[in-house]
Amino acid sequence: MSNEPVEGVAPYSGPAGGWGALAAVAKAVRNEMGTSPDTRALMEMNQPDGFDCPGCAWPDPKHTSSFEFCENGAKAVTWEATSKRVTAEFLAGHTVSELWTWSDHDLENVGRLTEPLRYDPATDCMVPVSWEEAIAGIAAQLQALDHPDQAEFYTSGRASNEAAFIYQLFARAFGTNNFPDCSNMCHEPTSVGLPQSIGVGKGTVTLEDFDAADAVFCIGHNPGTNHPRMLTTLREVSLRGKPIVVLNPLKERGLERFAPPQSPVEMLTLQSTPLASSYHQVKVGGDVAVLKGMMKALLAADTADLGNGGPGLLDRVFIGEHTVGFEDLVADLNGTEWTDIEHRSGLTRAAIEGMAETYWSAERVIACYGMGITQHRHGTENVRQVVNLLLLRGNMGKEGAGICPLRGHSNVQGDRTVGITEIPAEPFLARLDKAFGIQAPRKHGHNAVRTLAALADGSSRAFIGLGGNFAVAMPDPQVAFAAFRGMDLNVQIITKLNRSALLTAKHTYVLPCLGRTERDLQGGVAQSVTVEDSMSMVHASRGRLKPASDQLRSEVSILAAIARATLPDSTIDWEGMVADYDRIRDKIEEVFPDFADFNARIRTPGGFRLPVPASERKWNTPDGKAHFLTSSALDEDDGRDEGTLVCTTLRSHDQYNTTIYGLNDRYRGVTGRRDVVFIHPDDLADAGLAHGDCIDIVAQEDRVLAGVTAVSYPIARGSVAAYYPEANVLIGYKDYDRASGVPSYKSVPVRLRPAAQVGQG
């Protein structure tokens, strides 16, 4: 039974990277760019004078390096620089109702949008419209709202600093702080949790710190797919003989071993470098338990060491000088039982003690984490426990040590820095008011979940999307799709057709914009934008490719035009800022003092690093101390009964969020399909199922992901995994982390049953 071959499923034996990566790049170039590939784009990626890769937010060695190869960066670029186009003829030949039945892959695969579009209910088609008419139509709808708070201004994290700054200025001048953004679905527990603990909502390490680290912990992130350039960094750590400890429910090839395509030796000898020195398959949602277990083991070992006349294992000087809350943490750990820790984590006490020993044996430790930590009902608590662990040994604000959240979109961190937030601080608003002579609203606005709730109950009527695919990225498509269809205005500023653009409201406009790779001329002069990576490095990005159509406009110019049309009496010099982006940067500098000398500093290769006070042991908290914070999340049962499994949602190797490049997930051994769910063989057997069976996944409130194929996989017991966005039907939008608002995409209680059999299991 379980030995029967299953179509498109076979374990992958190669390393991450290697020849498989080269082959995938060749295929991406061939598929997207046809016979005359403008491979120049690939060579200019992340070069001092080129454009920033629209893939991940992992930094570059000073942005001055020689070409660094990355398979998924190449996919992101070729997908944007494709020679395929959405033409007026295509749109006339396919109604929106028909396109709606297409897959996410097929929709984007039509190619780049080439002209502004309006939905025409009479023909049920998207029809070309002039820029002037589109902008005037949007402005009229915004002006017709009863209140500015009825509009939602969504940002996806590809938007440049300049576009994001103009966007927030416009929405605030219009009168609202409704800024749902993709960060609300992503690293919000970092943005909310870290400031309370260490006074800044960003990572504290730089790329150079990895050269000095004595151990690296990788918790809940999948770099082989989502931050592939990080593999080069991890490989160097491994080659220096330093431990890399992994905490992840699934075996991920990109954390196990890597063959850099730049290394002739490893490529030609088919060798690879091992990455993880130890790999712990924690149960989905079990990280708090593991982290508490490690700290408990550390405290016990510290006590023993002191008893033997040793100096102890905690950094008592650091704890005394820099922190508060240590006693509360110790009390909480003393009250946490090992049996609970083992039960919740699925790991043995011995394994957790082993991780703890690796931790205290290392002088300098970096802890990296991604969505496996943040996207839980207790995502913020997860982040706090990672910080607690680091603080206990002073692993913060010293060389080779610190916290390293793996950010998502390439400029999601920068967008936040320049004002995309629904909970703006007063000093920022005061400076914004002064710089522009406006009175920004003080009332806090909507995050992503509250936006969906407001659209669903009809209290919000309009949605503008600066990039992204909000309705598909959010949980609960059942609610999101109906909510969008009930709106007065849906505006999508995007590069490719997606489902959020097909959710037609009373008035629907699709505005095609330039991508990162394309040259942005204003009045004949080439403009640069800026972005901030995961490590707070800000640098310029300049596209060189000929735009996909001469009708495309930059995000900055589209937003400024909407602003001018909506606010005809505005005294803000929208036109001047569009004409020369240096003027936008001058204003950013006026509002955010950390950007002093902005225009000068981005002209030096590599750009500059924004200050991160915690990396100098300066704690921007009310009392100037770093805080041990904890609440007892171990008691929380995540709504699961005995026998319930917990489903996490994942990205395949061939996707960028809701953008599905292809149907392969090479490292997990899946080819040509996405309709699979990964399950531990013993859980399969317990459910009376076999590898290859067609099953339904059933979540609370009768949510069903129907007809997926069960794949026996090395995943922690009690945990299953399915692909995002398909699995979003299983997740209720009210299921989110109360502290940060991030949906709990990665802990959905589910049952399994044979497909299409109602009333079982």
Ligand X SMILES: Nc1nc2c(c(=O)[nH]1)N[C@H]1C(S)=C(S)[C@@H](COP(=O)(O)OP(=O)(O)OC[C@H]3O[C@@H](n4cnc5c(=O)[nH]c(N)nc54)[C@H](O)[C@@H]3O)O[C@H]1N2
Nearest of 578, 611, 508, 638 to residue 124 by alpha carbon: 508
Nearest approach in angstroms of CB 616 to ligand X is 27
Nearest approach in angstroms of CB 597 to ligand X is 27
Q: Which of residues 668-727 bind ligand X (CB under 6 A)?
A: 724-725, 727
- Taking each helix axis from N to C end, the angle separating 379-392 and 287-307, rounded to the nearest 10 degrees, works out to 20
Give every CB contact of residue 277 below 8 A, 6+ residues apart in sequence. 238, 243, 244, 245, 358
Which listed option, ligand X, Mo ion, none, makes contact with residue 18 (CB within 5 to 8 Å by class)?
none
Nearest approach in angstroms of CB 657 to ligand X is 3
Question: What are 86's two structure tokens?
Answer: 């959405």
| Angle in degrees, CA 485, 487, 492, rounded to 5 | 85
| Cβ atoms of 728 and 476 closer than 8 Å | yes
Q: Which of residues 58-77 bind ligand X (CB under 6 A)?
A: 72
Nearest approach in angstroms of CB 210 to Mo ion is 22
Nearest approach in angstroms of CB 491 to Mo ion is 22
Look up residue 566 and give its amino acid.
T
Looking at beta carbons only, is 443 or 738 nearer to ligand X?
Answer: 738
Question: In the set 746, 750, 752, 753, which binds ligand X (CB under 6 A)?
Answer: 746
Which listed option, ligand X, Mo ion, none, makes contact with residue 249 (CB within 5 to 8 Å by class)?
ligand X
Binding of ligand X at residue 389 (CB under 6 A)? no
Looking at beta carbons only, is 222 or 664 nearer to ligand X?
Answer: 222
Question: What are 251's two structure tokens?
Answer: 């075996």
Question: In the set 117, 164, 198, 284, which binds ligand X (CB under 6 A)?
Answer: 284
Looking at beta carbons only, is 159 or 752 nearer to ligand X?
Answer: 159
Question: In the set 20, 137, 199, 220, which binds ligand X (CB under 6 A)?
Answer: 220
| Cβ atoms of 647 and 697 closer than 8 Å | yes
Nearest approach in angstroms of CB 369 to Mo ion is 13
Nearest approach in angstroms of CB 20 to ligand X is 15
Looking at beta carbons only, is 260 or 441 nearer to ligand X?
Answer: 260
- Using DSSP's 3-state secondary structure scheme, residue 158 falls into coil
Which listed option, ligand X, Mo ion, none, makes contact with residue 44 (CB within 5 to 8 Å by class)?
none
Binding of ligand X at residue 583 (CB under 6 A)? no
**How many chain residues are in contact with ligand X, going by CB under 6 A?**
61
Question: In the set 158, 235, 398, 601, which binds ligand X (CB under 6 A)?
Answer: 158
Question: In the set 189, 346, 370, 419, which binds ligand X (CB under 6 A)?
Answer: 370
Q: Which of residues 134-153 bind ligand X (CB under 6 A)?
A: none
Looking at beta carbons only, is 470 or 619 nearer to ligand X?
Answer: 470
Binding of ligand X at residue 126 (CB under 6 A)? no
At 405, give phi and psi (nearest 5°).
-70, 130
| Angle in degrees, CA 566, 572, 574, rounded to 5 | 70
Looking at beta carbons only, is 260 or 408 nearer to Mo ion?
Answer: 408
Q: Which of residues 402-431 bind ligand X (CB under 6 A)?
A: 406, 408-409
Question: In the set 176, 222, 358, 460, which binds ligand X (CB under 6 A)?
Answer: 222
Nearest approach in angstroms of CB 241 to Mo ion is 33
Nearest approach in angstroms of CB 182 to Mo ion is 6
Look up residue 262 and give its amino acid.
Q
| Cβ atoms of 713 and 650 closer than 8 Å | no
- Using DSSP's 3-state secondary structure scheme, residue 356 falls into helix
Nearest approach in angstroms of CB 106 to ligand X is 12
Q: Which stretch in 165-173, 308-316, 384-392, 460-468 sits in contact with ligand X by CB under 6 A?
A: 460-468
Q: Is the peptide bond before 725 cis (omega within 30 degrees of 0)?
A: yes
Question: What are 633's two structure tokens?
Answer: 């999340």
Residue 280 CB burial class (10 angstroms; 0-12, 13-18, ≥19): buried
Looking at beta carbons only, is 486 or 732 nearer to ligand X?
Answer: 732
State how far the alpha carbon of 707 is from the alpha carbons of 651, 658, 710, 753, 757, in Å.
19, 20, 9, 10, 10
Looking at beta carbons only, is 375 or 554 nearer to Mo ion?
Answer: 375
Q: How many residues does the chain have?
A: 761
Distance between CA atoms of 312 and 140, rounded to whole angstroms?
A: 68
Distance between CA atoms of 610 and 452, rounded to whole angstroms?
A: 33
Nearest of 534, 190, 207, 255 to residue 387 by alpha carbon: 190
Question: In the set 232, 447, 504, 728, which binds ligand X (CB under 6 A)?
Answer: 728
Nearest of 440, 536, 407 to residue 168 by alpha carbon: 440
- Using DSSP's 3-state secondary structure scheme, residue 245 falls into strand
Question: In the set 114, 156, 238, 599, which binds ligand X (CB under 6 A)?
Answer: 156
Nearest approach in angstroms of CB 491 to ligand X is 11
| Cβ atoms of 285 and 638 closer than 8 Å | yes
Sign of CA dihedral 480, 485, 491, 495: positive
Beta bridge partners of 598: none
Distance between CA atoms of 699 and 747, rounded to whole angstroms?
A: 11
Residues that bind Mo ion (CB under 5 A): 186, 408
Percent helix / strand / coil, the chain, rounded to 5? 40, 20, 40
Nearest approach in angstroms of CB 309 to ligand X is 37
Distance between CA atoms of 336 and 345, rounded to whole angstroms?
A: 13
Binding of ligand X at residue 664 (CB under 6 A)? no
- Using DSSP's 3-state secondary structure scheme, residue 413 falls into helix
Question: In the set 151, 494, 505, 750, which binds ligand X (CB under 6 A)?
Answer: 494
* Per-residue mark of binding to ligand X, 434-453 (x: CB under 6 A): --------------------
Q: Which stretch in 117-125, 140-148, 512-520, 635-643 sits in contact with ligand X by CB under 6 A?
A: 512-520
Looking at beta carbons only, is 323 or 495 nearer to ligand X?
Answer: 495
Give all strands (DSSP E) within 700-739, no chain letters.
703-712, 719-723
Distance between CA atoms of 466 and 327, rounded to whole angstroms?
A: 46
Binding of ligand X at residue 180 (CB under 6 A)? no
Binding of ligand X at residue 108 (CB under 6 A)? yes
Our measurement of the distance from residue 306's CA atom to the centroid of its chain's CA atoms, rounded to an integer in Å, reads: 43
Place of tokens 């007809």: 707
Nearest approach in angstroms of CB 157 to ligand X is 6
Nearest approach in angstroms of CB 297 to ligand X is 18
DSSP state of 611: P
At 300, give phi and psi (nearest 5°).
-65, -45
Looking at beta carbons only, is 714 or 754 nearer to ligand X?
Answer: 714
Nearest approach in angstroms of CB 374 to Mo ion is 9
Binding of ligand X at residue 745 (CB under 6 A)? yes
Which listed option, ligand X, Mo ion, none, makes contact with residue 547 (CB within 5 to 8 Å by class)?
none
DSSP state of 702: G
Binding of ligand X at residue 117 (CB under 6 A)? no
The 10 Å Cβ neighbour count of residue 543 is 26
Which listed option, ligand X, Mo ion, none, makes contact with residue 658 (CB within 5 to 8 Å by class)?
ligand X
Would you tell me which residues interact with ligand X (CB under 6 A)? 55-56, 72, 108, 156, 158, 182, 185-186, 219-222, 225-226, 247-250, 252, 282, 284-285, 287, 370-372, 375, 406, 408-409, 466-470, 473, 493-496, 498, 513, 515-516, 555, 648-651, 655-659, 724-725, 727-728, 745-746
